[in-house]
Amino acid sequence: MEGDHSITAQPQRANGSVPEGLCKDHANGGAALKSLPIWSLKQNGILQSLAVGGEQRKTEEESAEVQQAREQWEALDRIQPVLPEDVTPTPLISFNEALQHFQTTDLSELLRNIQPTLHRTGLAAITHFLFGPPRLHRELIEERNMVFAIAQCSLDNGQKVHTRVLQTIYKRLTGTRLDCPRYGPHWETVGFQGRDPATDLRGTGFLGLMHTLYLVMDPDTLPLALDIYKLSQHPVQNFPFVVMSINMTRIALHALREEVLSKECNRRQQVLGVLNEFYVATFLHLFQVWKFQQKTISDSGFVLKEVETFAKKNPKQILKRLETFLKETRSGSGASVSPDTPSNHASPGEGGIGLAAPGARGKEMNFTGVCELPPEMEGEARLI
């Protein structure tokens, strides 16, 4: 450590008194030493002089202690602390970059295990053929199957893209620029249920993370994502954000498998784009219900089931409401919904949960706790 060397130690006299140079203004030298900076004492060896001034010479034991203190000071010079600014954070990853990883990866093993449509027999198959939604166009089948293959993919620590997706979600929600450890309680901050995010991907696989990535990286939907995240931190209405997001992915997958989205996919000649928007629209619907009906975690089982039912029965309506919401948000006309601001959006209408006023809570039906979810949700991501 560089320092000012203008102060030099003087040789001690034989009788142990303070050197004349230090006694010029102070009889015992104590005041002069008190005015010296500690780094000056260390640099010039005057640390020994703290006990000098009419006293006898230090014992060998005291000298050993002083030597140890000097060595500790010198050790401090060799310590080079690593500041956070010196750490190069992992760059954020866009949804398209993450998607490209899967588009260029061999998914053949995963494709063998997918179930892209429901298997219907008997009267149900005939009814679906005659009165059900149209079949997905042949040229879209490969894209649809890729979606279900991603939903079969587990989180792989060996894949850099996978870990970048995790880091990006954490950074966008919390606002930090620094990477966080792969395991730890910090993941609960963004709404995972434990130290390892991989354990929450049951039923949706990596698609659950892809949808959350889409929500936080699209500039149009990021404000909505932050509003939902803020509500998830509410002292009363809190819920695990990412696990709730994964549940929205599960609903979207079920809608795609049941061919609820086939008509819109055929019209737009794409699958993933429609699925992404349906996921966001469903999340928006749940957010509005949760906020304005003052739901809590004890209501989650009932709310999730009703949101799923409404979204599947009204895919066109729920997508249209999202489109209107995003247009109003972009134009700054007050569509941004947060726990502290009211919404002017209309009720979803018949067939689903409406946006009731806070005072209407007493008129609602009794809620089912999340631990009493129906059997068909067994094995899926859920809120606890």
359-382: pLDDT as tens digits? 333 333 332 333 333 334 434 445
Residue 206, amino acid: F
The CB-side HSE value for 360 (13 A sphere, CA atoms) comes to 11
Residue 338, amino acid: S
The residue length of the chain stands at 384
Among 299, 308, 306, which Cα is nearest to 354's?
Answer: 306
Amino acid 358: pLDDT: 37
Residue 341: φ, ψ to 5°: -125, 140
Place of tokens 């040789």: 11
Amino acid 117: pLDDT: 86
Structure tokens at 374: 């129906």
- Rounded distance between C-alpha atoms, residue 377 and residue 142, angstroms: 27
Check residue 122 and give left, alpha or beta (phi > 0: left; psi -120 to 50: alpha): left
- Rounded distance between C-alpha atoms, residue 289 and residue 347, angstroms: 9
* Whether pTM exceeds 0.85: no
**Could you tell me the CA-to-CA distances from 338 to 51, 284, 292 in Å, in that order?**
65, 11, 10
**Could you tell me the CA-to-CA distances from 179 to 21, 182, 191, 242 in Å, in that order?**
56, 9, 17, 18
Residue 140: φ, ψ to 5°: -100, -5
Amino acid 202: pLDDT: 84
Residue 295, amino acid: K
Structure tokens at 49: 């002089």
Amino acid 29: pLDDT: 47
Check residue 351 and give left, alpha or beta (phi > 0: left; psi -120 to 50: alpha): left
- Rounded distance between C-alpha atoms, residue 101 and residue 209, angstroms: 14
The CB-side HSE value for 351 (13 A sphere, CA atoms) comes to 12
- Tell me which DSSP letter residue 112 carries: T
**What is the distance, to the nearest Å, from the Cα of residue 130 to the centroid of all Cα atoms in its chain?**
45
Residue 241: φ, ψ to 5°: -60, -55
Q: Are 180 and 196 in contact (CB under 8 A)?
A: no
Q: pLDDT tens track of the chain, all 384 residues? A: 444 444 444 444 444 444 444 444 444 444 444 444 444 444 444 444 444 444 445 455 556 766 776 666 565 544 444 444 446 889 999 999 999 999 999 999 999 999 988 766 677 667 666 666 789 999 999 999 999 999 999 999 999 999 999 999 999 999 999 999 999 999 999 999 999 999 999 889 999 999 999 999 999 999 999 999 999 999 999 999 999 999 999 999 999 999 999 999 999 999 999 999 999 999 999 999 999 999 999 999 999 999 999 999 999 999 999 999 999 988 886 554 443 333 333 333 333 444 433 333 333 333 233 333 333 443 444 554
| All residues at 6 or more sequence positions from 212 whose CB lies less than 8 Å from its CB, including other chains | 169, 242, 245, 246
| All residues at 6 or more sequence positions from 272 whose CB lies less than 8 Å from its CB, including other chains | 99, 143, 146, 147
Structure tokens at 290: 């949760």
**C-beta contacts of 167-172 below 8 A and 24+ residues apart:** 167/89, 167/90, 167/92, 168/92, 168/93, 168/213, 168/216, 168/217, 169/209, 169/212, 169/213, 169/216, 169/242, 171/89, 171/92, 172/92, 172/216, 172/217, 172/222, 172/225
- Rounded distance between C-alpha atoms, residue 147 and residue 103, angstroms: 10
